[in-house]
């Protein structure tokens, strides 16, 4: 899979902060919409084990803090305080 540089996305830190502020787990489609990627891309990442997700019965959920940490770890430039 081609690695997307999220530093090229406008306001990557704002996106991460918005995701972290979520109080409930996210469904894959909602998270994919936030990232502007296909839900199939996320499902492949989850299946390969490279993206953190939780399976609840037949649903796959994404914990906001884990997703934010995952995104932060993929920033290609250091964050400026």
Domain membership of residue 69 (yes or no) is yes
**Domain tally for the chain?**
1
| 48 within some domain | yes
Q: In angstroms, rounded to a whole number, what is the distance separating the alpha carbons of residues 64 and 57?
A: 19
For residue 16, the model assigns a pLDDT of 87
Please state the pTM of the whole predicted model: 0.72
Residue carrying the six token digits 């940490």: 69
**Are 79 and 16 contacting, i.e. CB atoms less than 8 angstroms apart?**
no
Q: Is residue 1 part of a domain?
A: no
Per the structure, the complete domain to which residue 49 belongs is given by 23-73
Residue 2 lies in a domain: no
Task: Decide if 36 is inside a domain.
Answer: yes
Burial of 52 (0-12, 13-18, 19+ CB in 10 A): middle
**What's the rounded Cα separation, in Å, for the pair 6 and 47?**
21
Tell me the pLDDT of the chain (81 aa) as tens digits.
Answer: 445 554 445 577 888 888 888 889 999 999 998 888 899 999 999 999 999 999 988 999 999 999 999 988 887 665 555
């Amino acid at each position: 899979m081609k690695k997307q540089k999220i530093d090229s996305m406008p306001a990557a830190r704002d996106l991460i902060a918005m995701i972290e502020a979520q109080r409930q787990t996210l469904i894959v489609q909602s998270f994919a919409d936030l990232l502007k990627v296909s839900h199939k891309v996320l499902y492949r990442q989850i299946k390969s084990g490279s993206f953190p997700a939780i399976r609840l019965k037949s649903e796959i959920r994404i914990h906001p803090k884990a997703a934010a940490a995952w995104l932060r770890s993929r920033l290609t430039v250091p964050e400026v305080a």
